[in-house]
Amino acid sequence: MTRVGVLALQGDFREHLHILESLGVGAVAVKKPEQLGEVDALVIPGGESTTIGKMATRFGLIEPLRQSIESGLPTYGTCAGMILLAGAVTDGDQPLLGALDVVVRRNAFGRQNESFEADLDIDGLDEPFHAVFIRAPWVEKVGSEIEVLAEVDDHPVMVRQDNILATSFHPELTGDGRIHDMLIEMV
């Protein structure tokens, strides 16, 4: 059985565990570096990107995460997870994994009260995906290896690079498992 880990330091990791379980895969909360070797794929959830980065640093996870992703571990980051995966952010100072060749703008669509939902056309999906954006980032700049899978107002909100998938929205809040399936298919 495929085992998908969800980084469980802060944020909406429980929602990711639930949707992965509903898709019939083994879902495990990852809190320690040694657990990375026990999973076939990884989700880095939404939450507070600075907090997740600081906690990952405190628990000795930054370098093991970098090494696992660099070694080909299929990885999916949502919202704060996209920020943590980025090579750079336009604003703020926080730990980053530098695994995804993008520059991300945090809270690009605005603050909490400007959160929104939208139906997105996503490359690889037959039907639109109902996306939930909560204090969402967008990709400000993409590297040459980045494949843009969806945009809102000409700003990339879903990208893929090799074994990494990232969205600025929260599919785990919709009950629609199609994007998580994309990660599982990468295993």
Which of 181, 184, 126, 131 has its CA nearest to residue 158? 131
Rounded to whole angstroms, the Cα distance separating 64 from 155 reads: 31
Q: What is the dihedral of CA 85, 153, 169, 124, to 10 degrees?
A: -90
Marked catalytic residue, from 15, 16, 79, 180 = 79
Catalytic residue at 79?
A: yes
Query: Which among 15, 16, 170, 180 is annotated as catalytic?
Result: 170
Q: Which of 15, 16, 172, 180 is catalytic?
A: 172
Q: Are 117 and 153 in contact (CB under 8 A)?
A: no
Which residues have a catalytic role annotated?
79, 170, 172
